[in-house]
Every structure is written in C-alpha cells, then in structure tokens.
Structure 1
C-alpha cells in the first residue's frame, strides 16, 4: 500500500513520482504563472490508483501516469465540460 501526500504549488514534488509526472506538474505551474493566476494557497494531492500516481490540483487539474508509455496526461477542469457538451 502506498500513501499519498499533499504539497503546495511551487513546492517540491515527492521523489517517488516518475520524472514525466514531475515535468507535467512543473508545466501546469508554469502555465499558472504565465496566466498570472494566484495559486499561492493551492496544493497538489497525490493519490495512488492501482499502483499508479494520480496528482490533482485544488482547481481540479488532474495528472495521470501511464507506465506502459512512460507518459503523463493533464486534464484541465474545463476538459470535462467539453466532453459533456
């Protein structure tokens, strides 16, 4: 069993995350900074689903790891709205 954790935007991601997930976290944080979003109180939440990391930001952004391809996908909260339309 793996326990999850939380860390602040701009903080250091847990070392056990795959590098592509950390890169995705950094890309989301860079985008927030470029858009001048005040995310100073936001936190990332790491959970494990079937042994795979799932990282969620307080705004609903979700990063999922795909070990077979060693890739990560980022889903923005408005992505789900588009899928329902």
Structure 2
C-alpha cells in the first residue's frame, strides 16, 4: 500500500511525488496567478490507483501518467485554470 500526500500549489512537491509527475504539476502551477486576491492557493492531493500515481488539484485538474510513463494533464469541465 502506498500513501498519498497533500501540498499547496506553487510549493515544491513532497518526495513521495514521482519525478514523472513533477513536470506536469509545475506546468499547471505556472498557470495559476501568484496573487489570487487574498484567496489561498489550491492544494494538490497525490493518490495511487491500481499502483499508478494521480495528482489532483482542488480545482479538478489531474496529472497522471500515460502508458509510456509521460505526464498527462486532464482538466475538469468547470476548471478555472484550464
């Protein structure tokens, strides 16, 4: 069993986040305004599904790995940062 973790967007992901996901996460973080008008930045959650890592932002954005091990970003239909 692998445990997930949480962190705030824009911060360095914890060591538990696989290197293969980090580039996708950084790309999403770069689209989020630094000044969110006093609102806290959204948080990431790392979970594992059938042994595969999935990082999900509180806005609904997901970063996961394709069959070749490359990071793929998926946006929720109502995601403000798509």
TM-score above 0.5, yes or no:
yes
The ranges of structure 1 where at least 4 consecutive aligned residues each deviate by more than 6 angstroms after the TM superposition are none
Higher helix share goes to which structure? 1
Q: Which residue of 2 aligns with 1:25?
A: 25
Give the paired residue count. 76
**Structure 2 unaligned runs (5+)?**
none
What TM-score comes out, normalization by structure 1 length?
0.76
Question: Contact 1:9/1:40 (CA < 8 Å) preserved in 2?
Answer: no
Q: Which residue of structure 1 aligns with residue 46 of structure 2?
A: 46
CA contact (8 A) 2:7 2:43 kept: yes
Aligned residues: CA RMSD: 2.0
Structure 2 counterpart SS, 1:26: helix
Query: What's 2:76 paired with?
Result: 77
